[in-house]
Every structure is written in structure tokens, then in C-alpha cells.
Amino acid sequence: MNIEAAEGFRARVAKHAALGDPARLRIVDLLTLGDFSPTELQAELGMPSNLLSHHLRTLEDAGLATRHRSEADGRRSYIRLAAGALEGLVPGAEHGARRVLFVCTRNSARSQLAAALWQQVSEIPSTSAGTHPADRIAQGAIDVARRHGLDLADLPPRTLIQVADQGDFIVTVCDKAHEELPGLGGIHWSVPDPLRPGTKEAFDMAFNDITRRINDLAPRVTAV
């Protein structure tokens, strides 16, 4: 971990530690709505001034809150949420990639859906492949994609050997492909195979699962 990354990690630790107390978490919740004087916070929280002062110092030290003097009455101060206070409270960017490659066994449903969904939320290119590709994309995958405004009909399943390139960030989206390719690197999503039940509900569940995972991953991958 380089110095910059280590400092960022320590800052995240400090913020999480500061928010581990219910009163401080409540203060930050209030500050997301607006600025409060210490007196107003004391009334809102029902706590003694010395305890509130302790909590506010902890939040300021963690970079979560700042205070400034009132323009109307210089004896009064207001606490506000610090600029960028909530940055780093969710996991930061962890991976650099020229392209994201989604892999499943048949390249007929989950990996194709993942590649199409990725293109909706990221500028980083995406593609898909299979360890043992099918002849065509599953009709259930085409149908669920169409219900959500995606078109998979003309995309042929392809082998991993045909598609993989150095610099790909690989995401396996089925257990069989993941276990067939030990040491491949990247990450794994254990998405249940919708082809086994073959129902509309199974494809909807897979689509929703992949959508959620795509939305969580995309902000953590940066272009290289």
C-alpha cells in the first residue's frame, strides 16, 4: 500500500471509529440536513454540554465536522458537515482495468447480461466469454434483457480463449467457471444459474442480482 493509499485508509478508519458511537452518528445525521449551534444540538440530543463538546471534538478530529462563527453574533458558532465528510465511508476504488471481462460457463445468460449492464453504468469497456460456450444465448436471457431495454439477441457466445486479453479485470459470475479456473484472478460472484429452473422468475432474480452487483462494483473500478 503506497503512502497516499495508506493515509486515505487511516482517514476512513478514523471516520468509522468516530461514527461508532450512536450519539456521534446521530449528530452527523442531523448535519446532513443543515448547520446546528452546539446549543441546538444539545437540545436535540438531550445531553450535557461537556459530553456534547467531547463528541464534537471527536467528529472534528476525524474530519467529519467543522465549526464557524455566526455572522450575526460572534459569540455563537455553528457546526456543519465538513466538505467531503462522507467520502470514504463506502469502499473506495480498488481496481484499475482497461476492460471488464465477465465469465460464466456457457456465456449464454449471466455473463452476457453482466456485460450489457456494465455498459450502462461505466465508461470502461466490457465483454463476456464462456469456458464452454453454448451455441446461442438463452431465450430467457434475451427476454429478461428486453424487458429492461437491453438487446442481447445478436450477440454470439464466445470462448474465454477468444476473448481474454492482458489487462482485463475478470469477473466470474457462475461457480462452475470460477472453480474451473483457479488462479484466474479478478473476483467472483456466485449468481445462481437461471437456466436450471428456466423460469421467468429465475431470470428476473439473476438479472436483479447482477444489477445490484454491477452498481456496487462500477464506482470501485477505474480506467487505466
- pLDDT tens, 1-28? 566 567 878 888 999 999 999 999 999 9
pTM over 0.85: no
Chain region(s) in the chain for CATH 3.40.50.2300? 95-223
Return the bridge partners of 172, or none: 103, 188
Specify the pLDDT at position 154: 84
- Beta strands 77-81 and 65-69: pairing type? antiparallel
> What residue ranges of the chain have pLDDT lower than 50?
none
pLDDT of residue 204: 98
3-class SS letters over 3-24: HHHHHHHHHHHHHHHHCCCHHH
| pLDDT at residue 2, as a whole number | 62
Per-residue model confidence (pLDDT) at position 182? 83
How many CB atoms neighbour CB 47 within 10 A? 14
Which of the 8 DSSP states describes residue 36?
A: B
Q: Please tell me the predicted confidence (pLDDT) of residue 95.
A: 83
Q: DSSP letter at 194?
A: T
Instruction: Give ranges for CATH 1.10.10.10 in the chain.
Output: 3-81
Contacts (Cβ under 8 Å, ≥6 apart) of 95: 169, 220, 221, 222
CATH architecture of 95-223: 3-Layer(aba) Sandwich (3.40)
Q: What is the pLDDT of residue 183?
A: 80
**Residue 5: predicted pLDDT:** 67
Q: What is the CATH number of domain 3-81?
A: 1.10.10.10
